[in-house]
């Protein structure tokens, strides 16, 4: 199966943080709708997902912070995710990242648009302990490690930009094997 064979018109689907499409799946039970992304999703195949829900966490849920590093460090076992009550939620975040990656493989997606700032989805999250003050979320780190192109978006951002369109076109032009 090729990476883009499973989508209409052979266009590779885009993995999208479900909260950006208006799904009430954020930790606080709200969404982070990005109208431009919602409009894009009406014209291009998208796979909405929430790694925290895929990992078994409820909505709403207590906010979590990465302790001891960032998402890359969580993947290597050097950091943990601790919620506001002091409970360790590392396993749920790791499981959610793995399930989101499995979903990307099953659907043939090689690109993701993810919620900025999130300890799961953010590329530059402040909910971590890095000397720079920002780090990568767990799912974003796993996607990057495994070759998924990740873009970060907030609810007020315009979308798509040229960098995203170029990456999407490159994926559309390239056929790669898909493995789960």
Among 20-24, 92-96, 127-131, 149-153, the range scoring the smallest mean pLDDT is: 127-131
**Residue of 118 and 180 predicted with greater confidence:** 118
- Distance from chain centroid for Cα 102: 12
Q: How many residues does this entry show for the chain? A: 180
Phi, psi of 101 (to 5 degrees): -65, -40
Nearest to residue 142, comparing CAs of 121, 166, 117, 116? 121
CB atoms within 10 A of CB 163: 10
Kindly state the average pLDDT of the residues 2-12: 55
Kindly state the average pLDDT of the residues 79-103: 98
What is the reported pLDDT for 178? 53
pLDDT tops 80 at residue 144: yes
pLDDT in tens, 27-49: 999 999 999 999 999 999 999 99
pLDDT in tens, 61-73: 999 999 999 999 9
pLDDT tops 80 at residue 174: no
Q: Which residue in this structure is represented by tokens 């001891």? A: 68
3-state secondary structure of 5: coil
Nearest to residue 61, comparing CAs of 84, 90, 38, 79? 84
Q: Give the separation between CA 137 and CA 42, rounded to whole angstroms.
A: 27
């Amino acid at each position: 199966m090729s990476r883009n064979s499973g989508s209409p018109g052979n266009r590779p689907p885009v993995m999208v943080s479900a909260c950006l499409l208006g799904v009430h799946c954020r930790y606080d039970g709200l969404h982070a709708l990005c109208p431009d992304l919602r409009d894009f999703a009406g014209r291009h195949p998208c796979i909405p997902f929430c790694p925290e829900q895929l990992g078994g966490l409820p909505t709403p849920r207590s906010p979590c912070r990465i302790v001891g590093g960032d998402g890359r460090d969580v993947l290597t076992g050097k950091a943990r995710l601790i919620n506001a009550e002091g409970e360790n939620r590392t396993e749920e975040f790791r499981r959610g990242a793995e399930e989101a990656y499995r979903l990307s493989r099953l659907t043939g997606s090689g690109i993701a648009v993810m919620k900025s700032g999130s300890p799961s989805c953010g590329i530059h999250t402040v909910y971590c302990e890095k000397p720079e003050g920002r780090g990568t979320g767990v799912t974003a780190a796993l996607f990057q490690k495994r070759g998924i192109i990740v873009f970060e978006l907030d609810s007020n951002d315009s979308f798509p930009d040229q960098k995203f369109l170029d990456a999407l076109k490159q994926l559309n032009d390239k056929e790669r094997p898909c493995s789960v």
